[in-house]
Amino acid sequence: MNFTVTILGSGAALPTLKRMPSAQYVNCNNRHFLIDCAEGTQIQLRKFKVHFQKISHVFISHLHGDHYFGLVGLLSSMNLLGREKSIHIYGPPALEEILMLQLQHGTSKLSYQIEFHELNFDEKELILEDDVLEVFSFPLKHKIPTCGFLIKEKPKKLKINTEKLKGKDIEIEDYQRLQNAQDIKLKNGELLSYKEVTFEPHPPMSYAYCSDTKKDERISTFIKGCTALYHESTFLKKEKSIAKSTMHSTTTDAAEIASLASAKSLYVGHISSRYKSDEDFISELKEVFGNSHVTHDGLIIDLFKQ
């Protein structure tokens, strides 16, 4: 079991040598997702050793360039490298039109299919589900329609304590019954309680991504109890008025949302290129929410260690 997030870009609109704009790679129990895909994302994927053909789903939060200008380049490279497996892209409806126009006017016909899914910018919505996880989109408050994303593990089955089962003759189906919290009867008539031979699994974990947005308390209800929250904090407190006019958040805004959502940990990013150091961010965040961190490009967040 694994659940990690690799920060590919931790900066706001302007790419710098220190911080590239928004993109994140999520590996949730070997499901491989990309959230946002700013300019240079494919280089960041290489730099941080992510095999990008593994990515099966891409979630684009909104159509400001610092969140998707790298997408057509990444799709083209996937094509050049002989991708055959289709890719699912979730985003605003116009994204499909933009991508198709870019691809049509080039020479290349892709060697794989793009499955496009339109996001709902009004309500929280389940957009992807399989046997181990669910992905939801939910509306943020920004200058143009913008979604956040919540990746949530499903409750896990009980774990078998193999030591306790040594020497017992157990059918395959009975293993499954034990994992589903059912008692079983052995061939010799012995009753076996699942409680005696199983461990509680790790509680399901969840990761919430919120960029870009002004402070909106409704967000905390969409992501309640998440394990780790990534929330943009483009500005420090003193730039509050710029945050307001550009519909972005400050440190305090992000920390208050983490607190309202009862998140276990907070990671901030989308840091404006005007700031040279993380120190003021950390101290302002911790005034409100103790378990706060400032992201940097290449940071790996391990959901098991929050």
Q: Which residues bind Zn ion (CB under 5 A)?
A: 64, 212
Distance of alpha carbon 291 from alpha carbon 282, whole angstroms: 10
Q: Minimum CB separation from Zn ion for residue 284, in Å?
A: 22
Cβ count near 204 (within 10 Å): 15
CA angle at 206 for the pair 202 and 210, rounded to the nearest 5° = 165
Q: Which of 36, 66, 212, 297 is catalytic?
A: 66
Q: Considering the complex, state which of residue 69 and residue 116 has its C-beta at the smaller distance from Zn ion.
A: 69
Place of tokens 């519909």: 247
Q: Minimum CB separation from Zn ion for residue 192, in Å?
A: 56
Q: Minimum CB separation from Zn ion for residue 261, in Å?
A: 21
Q: Minimum CB separation from Zn ion for residue 142, in Å?
A: 5
Q: Considering the complex, state which of residue 174 and residue 212 has its C-beta at the smaller distance from Zn ion.
A: 212
Q: Considering the complex, state which of residue 152 and residue 248 has its C-beta at the smaller distance from Zn ion.
A: 248
Would you give the end-to-end CA distance of the chain in angstroms?
15
Name the packing angle between helices 251-260 and 279-288 (round to 10°): 40
Pick from 301, 302, 291: nearest CA to 264: 291
Q: Considering the complex, state which of residue 31 and residue 67 has its C-beta at the smaller distance from Zn ion.
A: 67
Contacts of 50 (CB under 8 A, 6+ apart): 6, 8, 25
Residue 66 annotated in active site: yes
The residue of the chain with the least Cβ separation from Zn ion equals 64
Looking from the CA of 244 toward its CB, the CA atoms found within 13 Å total: 5
Q: Which residues are catalytic?
A: 66
